[in-house]
A and B are shown apart, each in its own frame.
Chain A
Amino acid sequence: MSIHLHNIAKHFGTTQALEPINLDIHAGELVGLLGPSGSGKTTLLRIIAGLENADRTAQPSKILFGDRDVTNVHVRDRRIGFVFQHYALFRHMSVYDNVAFGLTVLSRKRRPNSGEIRARVFRLLEMVKLEHLANRYPAQLSGGQQQRVSLARALAVEPEVLLLDEPFGALDAKVRQELRRWLRHLHDEFNFTSVFVTHDQEEALELSDRVVVMSNGRIEQIDTPDELYREPKNRFVFEFLGDVNHLEGKVTNGVLTCGDAYWHVDLPDGHEELLLRPHEVRLTEQPTSESHLPVTITAISPVGAEVRVELEADWLAQPWLATVRHTDFEHLALRRGQRLFAHPRHWRRFPKAESKATEQSRVA
């Protein structure tokens, strides 16, 4: 079931939570709404669900599920499944009763008979691998199990659209990883349309078919994770999708200088701010004719496949972060307090006036 949003805006009192937004989500898509807190992503999700109403403006807003206009349809009749960050399970009901709730509140005409309900609930519990806990109460389950119950509960009513509000936000890293993979699998298998909210860029990039990046109630960019990472439309998107190092200075005759550091760049004269990712910084013991960026190592942390190195220098306003492969790390014999030279491999700039990014690669 596709979702079509037209001219959706929202005010809370005098603050604008959402600027008028248009958004199309295709049938069967898994879309992530990504943004910092206060960017309006949860508000947008709640408006899709019908838990919140869009502003009534001169230009009418519209929400369509497929061809069905649900703009003025109450949440209970929208046929959505909603998963809350803190599960929102019914604490006085067993796991079984929680999952069966949506079926037992159906009007007598549409309600399946009790045998059918039982079969359906157990099929769902099997799917979330919790059939052995059917008689437990929510308080007796771990956070990950509770969120799986909440998902099974939402799916019991066979929704056309599944909406998830930071579904894995309250869980620890490992469980989060597992549930993410499992949700992706579930989505592909059942082929419903899903929208989820997250502030975790890794989660959004890993899980979504397309990501909607939001800030300050605006949509900044809608793209596939791959395109989003490769071609961020603006500085906000670039900075939000990962760690960023800033290099600010004055360019004269193709040389950017900043304190005692300098670097040859192919840019016209003027004040410039260049941005680079941690993996785009190379470290060597000697400067080159191209660049002279002396830095001191202040912290080293070996995380996963790479070593994260924090760098400081007089000419830097904020410390830099560089990621180094383990082999290079051993080769350079890096240690705290060591003085090295940084060489940007690749950088981007987002001039304030134009939104188009400039980027340049350099074979290093």
Chain B
Amino acid sequence: MSQLASWRTGSTRVLPGFGLSMGISVLFISLVLLLPITGLFGQLAELSFAEYWAIITEGRVVASYMVTIGAAAVAAIINAIFGLLLAWVLVRYDFPGKRLLDALMDLPFALPTAVAGITLATLYASSGWMGGLLEPLGFQVAYTWVGIALAMAFTSIPFVVRTVQPVLEDMPVEVDEAAMSLGATDGVAFRRVILPHIWPALVTGTGLAFVRSLGEFGAIIFIAGNMPYETEITALMIFVKLQEYDYAGASAIASVVLFVSLALLLAINIWQGRFVRRLHGGKG
């Protein structure tokens, strides 16, 4: 309320540069984010609702949703577990090569996703190193949804590590020691003291990883095999529509991905805000 009042009465702010910085930010967001999205909805306007519905509920597309969401969920869970472990190792222990491992964490961001995809496909194809080892044991990774999940996990693990890491660093070792001095076993201390502390960051990181996986394309198509109804991901469906010059159809499917991602991000944000407020005494 007071902010609104000061806005109206035009009282001066102490921090300088609000007008300029806010203006540039809004302009940038408009150009880079809002304009393309508007374009997307412009394309959608060519379709009637019935047509739109028909496109997004077509059997092959729905199957691609299932494959994408299923694989992304598996990838997100894998990332939640191993990302937490990696962050834990990086924060709590000192070992030779720690800085190198820390730097490696960002590699999936830096690497072009297509390069990652080709590498994974070569590695896990039946003629590749890993594929050659796993195939006799009855595990097929390449050209199955397992491969899709693997590629998704690879490209999105930094999200979990990089969100959990600073929160863990922020948590004093004394808190852990306090729990132990009060008689808690390692497991109890982790479950009741450490996990609740990093929980918001872990959920956010996992959520981001999941959302990122929903839209991943380059890393997956090489390893997915792209068999209709089985290993086709939604991003590929968009690509296929584009190749057929069906821009409206591509936009329709893209809008579904967009809505799901947006809803998820928003939900995480609201939930996290509530949690953080409690930790910081109602001020955060």
Contacts and interface: CB of A to CB of B under 8 A. Distances in A.
Contact of B279 (A75, A81, A139): A139
Contacts of A153: 178, 182
20 contacts: A51-B180, A51-B181, A77-B183, A80-B181, A84-B174, A84-B178, A88-B172, A91-B197, A92-B196, A92-B197, A92-B279, A101-B179, A101-B192, A105-B179, A105-B182, A137-B279, A140-B281, A153-B182, A157-B182, A157-B183
A334 to B, nearest CB: 45
B174 A88 contact: yes
B46 interface: no
A106 B183 CA distance: 7
Interface in A31-80: 49, 51, 74-77, 80
A144 interface: no
Interface of A: 49, 51, 74-77, 80-82, 84, 86, 88-93, 101-102, 105-106, 137-140, 150, 153-154, 156-157
A243 B271 CA distance: 56
A105 B188 contact: yes
Contacts of B174: 84, 86, 88
Nearest to A138: B281
A102 to B, nearest CB: 4
Contacts of B188: 105
Contacts, number: 77
Contacts of A154: 181-182
Contacts of A51: 177, 180-181
A49 B278 CA distance: 32
B175 interface: yes
Interface string B179-208: 111111100100011001100000000000
A105 B181 contact: no
A102 B183 CA distance: 6
A139 B281 CA distance: 5
B180 A76 contact: yes
Given A84-B178, A101-B179, A139-B279, A76 B172 contact: no
B178 A82 contact: yes
B282 interface: yes
A90 B279 contact: no
Given A86-B172, A139-B280, A76 B184 contact: yes
Nearest to B185: A76
Contact of A88 (B178, B185, B280, B282): B178
Given A90-B175, A90-B193, A92-B196, A102 B279 contact: no
A82 B183 CA distance: 11
A101 B281 contact: no
Nearest to A163: B181
Contacts of A92: 196-197, 278-279
Given A86-B172, A105-B188, A140 B182 contact: no
B175 A88 contact: yes
A89 B179 CA distance: 9
A75 B180 contact: yes
